[in-house]
């Protein structure tokens, strides 16, 4: 097989056998395309690259292209996964990533909104317009559930059960989970239904949140609208993930256990959820210093 065919086989395997999300698979494809270009520039096949070739590529990505550590770590992970696949299929005899030390990525503590900031953001959409009411409903659902933006825009009508107050979503790796909806989110969803019918027009769609004429809303479109609401509310940098962080932080600060938050967020490993304990530890320290007589 050619190098391009090897990459295509790996991509297909990740999509069909491992069930990785479309976004993850596309990220793998972009990273491995860079690897293909690098190998071609060296006059080599990707099957003949060694550890030194990969180190040189990482150094170029860092020093000449200015990639941040998170990008380098993601690239290294994709390449390591690719060569492990080639080894398992016996398509290469040596794994050049075996002794490739992972570049350390400093874990940044998640930022989050205060309850007052959340209320300010929620108040921004114009409830008198179709798009504004839809956006407010999306914001209520996002903050009530902690969904990823891809999960939010991918919701279908069948994913909702307003009688039980639950929704079903499909996260990373197409993993399904059930998430409770708060009372306010349920009320907005009930009121959104006739709005959705107007947005749908004469078209048909299973998607819950729609653009006019029944068109699907993209992650990028929602991101841009959210950024505008953040600016109006005085929140300089507002992203869907910031609301997800705020959801998790609010739960933990009010006594939720880490395991429950892990399940609600759809984290496969609880160590991913544990980053929020740093935030709640800071909160506990503030409470202690404020109220303990010997603090």
Specify the CATH number for the domain of residue 155: 1.10.443.10
- Identify the pLDDT of residue 282: 65
CA distance 192 to 233: 23
The residues assigned a catalytic role are 148, 172, 241, 244, 267, 276
By three-state DSSP, how is residue 205 classified?
A: coil
Nearest-angstrom CA–CA distance, 167 and 179: 5
- 277 shares a domain with 194: yes
Q: From CA 58, how far away is CA 64, in angstroms rounded?
A: 10
User: Does 213 lie in the same domain as 137?
Assistant: yes
**DSSP type of residue 160:** E
Residues 157 and 217 in one domain: yes
- Count the domains in the chain: 2
pLDDT digits (tens, 9 = 90+) for 140-168: 999 999 999 989 999 999 999 999 999 99
User: Is-contact 101 125, C-beta < 8 A?
Assistant: no
Q: What is the mean pLDDT of the chain?
A: 88
Has residue 104 got a pLDDT over 60?
no
Residue 149 CB contacts under 8 Å (≥ 6 apart), including other chains: 142, 219, 222, 223, 240, 241
> Is residue 103, in this structure, part of any structural domain at all?
no
Helices and strands (DSSP H and E) totals, the chain: 13, 5
**What is the 3-class SS of 165-193, one letter each residue?**
CEEEEECHHHCEEEEECCHHHHHHHHHHH
Task: Please say whether the beta carbons of 174 and 188 come within 8 A.
Answer: no
- Inside any domain, residue 178: yes
**If you search the block for the tokens 């939720």, which residue do you land on?**
256
198 and 285 assigned to the same domain: yes
Q: Is residue 142 part of a domain?
A: yes
- Residue-level pLDDT at 175: 82
Residue 210 pLDDT > 80: yes
Tens digit of each residue's pLDDT (9 = 90 or more) over 48-101: 999 888 988 888 887 667 777 788 888 999 999 999 999 999 999 999 998 877
Tens-place pLDDT, residues 17-33: 888 888 888 999 999 99
The domain of 14 spans 3-88
The residue whose two tokens read 């708060």 is 182
- Per-residue model confidence as pLDDT tens digits over 224-271: 999 999 999 999 888 888 899 899 988 988 888 889 989 999 888 787
Domain boundary among 88, 123, 152: 88
Q: What is the CATH number of the domain that holds 46?
A: 1.10.150.130
Same domain (yes/no): 55, 119: no
Question: In terms of domains, do 70 and 138 share one?
Answer: no
């Amino acid at each position: 097989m050619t190098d391009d065919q090897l990459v295509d086989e790996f991509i297909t395997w990740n999509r069909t056998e491992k069930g990785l999300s479309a976004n993850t698979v596309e990220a793998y494809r972009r990273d491995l395309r860079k690897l293909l270009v690098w190998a071609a520039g060296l006059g080599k096949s990707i099957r003949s690259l060694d550890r030194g070739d990969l180190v040189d590529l990482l150094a170029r990505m860092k020093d000449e292209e200015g990639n941040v550590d998170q990008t380098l770590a993601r690239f290294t992970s994709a390449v390591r996964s690719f060569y492990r696949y080639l080894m398992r299929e016996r398509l290469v005899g040596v794994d050049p990533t075996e002794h490739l030390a992972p570049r350390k990525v400093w874990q940044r503590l998640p930022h989050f909104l205060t309850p007052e900031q959340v209320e300010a953001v929620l108040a921004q959409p114009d409830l008198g317009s179709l798009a504004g009411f839809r956006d407010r409903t999306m914001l209520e659902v996002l903050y009530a559930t902690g969904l990823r933006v891809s999960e939010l825009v991918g919701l279908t009508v069948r994913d909702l059960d307003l009688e039980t107050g639950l929704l079903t979503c499909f996260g990373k790796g197409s993993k399904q989970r059930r998430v409770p909806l708060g009372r306010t989110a349920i009320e907005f969803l009930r009121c959104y239904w006739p709005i959705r019918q107007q947005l749908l027009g004469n078209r048909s769609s299973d998607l819950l949140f729609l653009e006019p004429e029944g068109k699907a809303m993209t992650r990028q479109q929602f991101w841009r609208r959210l950024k505008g609401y953040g600016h109006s509310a005085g929140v300089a940098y507002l992203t869907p993930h910031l609301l997800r962080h705020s959801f998790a932080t609010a739960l933990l600060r009010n006594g939720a256990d880490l395991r429950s938050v892990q399940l609600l967020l759809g984290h496969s490993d609880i160590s991913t959820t544990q980053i929020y304990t740093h935030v709640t530890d800071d909160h506990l320290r503030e409470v202690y210093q404020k109220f303990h007589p010997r603090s």
